[in-house]
Amino acid sequence: MKIIDCEQGSKEWHEERAGVITASKLQEVRKRLKSGANKGGFSKAAEQYAFRLAFERVAGTPLDDTYVTEYMRRGNRLEEAARVVHEARINNLIESVGMVKSDCGNYGASADGFIGDKGGAEYKCFVSPEKMMPIMLEGDLADIQDQMQMNMWLSDRDWWHFGLYCPHLESIGRDLLLIKVERDEEYIAGMKADLEEFNTLVESYKKKIKAINYNNV
């Protein structure tokens, strides 16, 4: 495990992510085609992500390190507010984290915070009812499970606090919904197998890129 001490969203952070399979993209990586001749294979989106990573591994630099959407900027602003509420709720400080990488450097995650020696935090500031409804009404974290389990695997921690931050509900004291998620070794084993398979695809694209004849005139 390697902990990168940098500010998330900074130039250094983008450089550290170049060519790295990250937790935020894991759900996309694990999706498989459900029909057609290539049933069970990687989706087109996953293949394009693999190509991007392969390109970055060859280039040694991120493909587009300055692209930030308004939604991303909003999330960054609200994450700090969520951390403040979280700290007050659990009466404990939450350590800011830049990025955690595997020793091989192929996998990484940007945790929203570490709690003590065994825990961590992940905040989401969704505004889409489609994403908020299953979490708020059923406690369903299926769409975030990959990200949290990968964080626990890479940081060697036992549990994670998921926080859904909704500043609209601050006036009634319900702005932060917290759910504790335990480390799941069986889940992590399947996740690691999928990551290794995907990394093989990335490396195959890397070899093809390096083998291209750039002088075809």
**182 contacts 158 by C-beta, under 8 angstroms:** yes
The closest of 195, 157, 190, 161 to 178, measured between CA atoms, is 161
State how far the alpha carbon of 50 is from the alpha carbons of 140, 144, 153, 211, in Å.
Answer: 29, 21, 21, 17
CA-to-CA separations, 181 to 80, 84, 94, 126, 216, in angstroms, rounded:
21, 20, 17, 19, 54
Q: Is the per-residue pLDDT at 30 higher than 80?
A: yes
Domain assignment present for 28: yes
Q: How far apart are the first and last CA of the chain?
A: 46
Q: What distance in Å separates the CA atoms of residue 156 and residue 3, rounded to the nearest whole number?
A: 12
pLDDT score of 7: 87
Q: What CA dihedral angle connects 29, 107, 130 and 85, to 10 degrees?
A: 180
Question: Looking at the domain assignment, is residue 217 inside a domain?
Answer: no
CB neighbours of residue 75 within 10 Å: 18
Please check whether residue 125 lies inside any domain of the structure.
Answer: yes
Residue 77: other Cβ atoms inside 10 A: 11
Residues of the chain with pLDDT > 70: what percent?
A: 94
Count up the domains in the chain and report the number.
1
Residue 45 lies in a domain: yes
Query: Could you list the residue range(s) of the whole structural domain that residue 135 is in?
Result: 2-211
Please say if the pLDDT value at position 36 is more than 90.
no
Enter the pTM of the model: 0.91
> Residue 1 and residue 19: Cα distance in Å, rounded?
17
User: What pLDDT, on a 0 to 100 scale, did the predictor assign at position 157?
Assistant: 98
The verdict on residue 216 lying in a domain is no
**Residue 51 clears pLDDT 70, i.e. is over it:** yes
Per-residue pLDDT tens for 52-111?
999 999 999 998 755 556 656 666 778 899 999 999 999 999 999 999 999 999 999 999
Higher pLDDT, 75 or 28: 28
CA distance 42 to 30: 8
CATH of the domain at 149: 3.90.320.10
Task: Show Cβ contacts of residue 127 under 8 Å, excluding neighbours closer than 6 positions.
Answer: none
**% residues pLDDT > 90 (the chain):** 78
